[in-house]
Amino acid sequence: MRDSVIDFRPVLFVNGLLLLVLAVAMLFPAVADAAAGDPDWAVFVISAAVTAFFGLALGFGTRPAGRITLSARQSFMLTVIGWSSTSGFAALPFAFSNLGLTSTDAVFEAVSGLTTTGATVMLGLDHAPRGILLWRALLNWLGGAGIIVMAVAILPALRIGGMQVFRMETSDKTERVGPRILQVAGGIGVVYVVFTVLTALGFWVAGMGRFDAMCHALSAVSTGGFSTSDLRLAHWGADVQWVAVAAMLVGGSSLVLWTGMGRAARTSLFKDAQTRWYLMFIGGFSGLLALWQWTVNDMPPAAALRHAAFSVTSIVSTTGFASTDWSAWGGFAHVVFFILLFIGGCTGSAAGGIKILRWDLLFSITSAHIGRLLYPHGVYVIRYNNDMVAPTILDSVLGFVVLYFLTFALFAVTLSVVGVDFVTALSGSAAALANAGPGIGDVIGPMGSYRPLPDAAKWILALEMMIGRLELFIVAVLFSRSYWRE
């Protein structure tokens, strides 16, 4: 083995294009502020100019000759650098605004937005400038779109953590990003936009104002969880909350099945194994908590069902919205919600967490192992939607889950070292790694804020949010000696 140098030019060129997209996105909040007569519009114009300058510099300075092709090693590097740099530049409007955020808080808010975590350090959202509120929602939406494209077009080719199942869903058996994968990614993009528009209309009809409806639609479909009110969705009534439940369900589902492409064209949404598990998890835990609230906490049955369904859907889809302060529901509810932080949405969505598909495969592996103990000579084939799952995919799923829990434990210990209490450290680490938003307890609970945490804890959580969003292995690979050798 000999050392080899990675050609960074294609990586930096594509990263420059990403910064240009981010700069254009900053103009929308500028227009919103200007229309409302808020002087903060200049903050977004300046931030857009700075971001565009660096984007153009990277684009023109590193533009490769001919068609751009990325090797697996370059794709790993692009994914990490792309998410890191866009998060840094996305923090500029927060840092330059008159909100009084420190640089640490600005970066934390930007990382939380782009990773669709929804953990916030901002207070006084009901009176915040419209531009900032729209920027937070846009970060959620852009981050969610980026996650889906990464999951469909990049991770399968890099053999990351079970994402190869997309090849079964799209009938693409190649090891590269081919036209078929790109076509499916485009179809998912159309579905993503359509659901966002429909959700905004649903919120508006249910009683939200147009601006709030648009911001919450951007955050709901992307499973981002940023709201325009300190009370989250508790600020609005039951109709709005039920619309949010539907939007979060869709956002956490496998959007490739909504495109009708590839094998998805022959697989009914409700016949998909992953979707069945997804709905069973949400339905089962919603019923359990609704019964708890009705019988133990004396909540009226209709309200108990609504708040339970809302809260469970929000956590499982890793959206992070809240319709009530479920941290006051008691110890049983705390344990249930802590467990739900490790479930996650469907593969092929913007949701985080371990993901339903991996749990499905883990249960199948466990069942096969028990069968081998009883019948050692039996043949056990693990299938997903009647397709045989390759051993390499099963190995990657097992490796991912082990690495996931090790990462969770490591960051929980690190948070406790910098002075975070036990409950906040555990739930904060779980919520950050799953990109789920709120944790458990009085500080970072569903109606709380991450602002009181020490700056060191915020940097640790921001790093963990990014690692969770990048599917762990992408970051781990960069620390491997073999990655830096040919």
From the annotation, which residues make up the binding site for K(+)? Answer: 116-117, 224, 318-319, 435
Euclidean distance between CA atoms 147 and 145, whole angstroms:
5
Which residue type sits at 376?
P
Q: What angle do CA 20, 22, 26 make, to 5 degrees?
A: 115
Residues 139/224, Cβ–Cβ less than 8 Å? yes
Task: Please enumerate in sequence order all residues whose Cβ is within 8 A of that of 45, keeping only pairs 6 or more positions apart, or say none.
Answer: 26, 27, 30
From residue 359, alpha-carbon distances to 193, 263, 274, 439 in Å are 29, 21, 9, 22
Which of 82, 10, 7 is closest to 486 using CA atoms? Answer: 7
Let me know how long the chain is. 486
Euclidean distance between CA atoms 476 and 20, whole angstroms:
28
Looking at the chain, the number of H-run helices and the number of E-run strands are: 20, 2
Annotated binding residues: 116-117, 224, 318-319, 435
Euclidean distance between CA atoms 240 and 440, whole angstroms:
24
HSE at residue 328, side-chain half, CA atoms within 13 A, is: 10
Euclidean distance between CA atoms 127 and 135, whole angstroms:
15
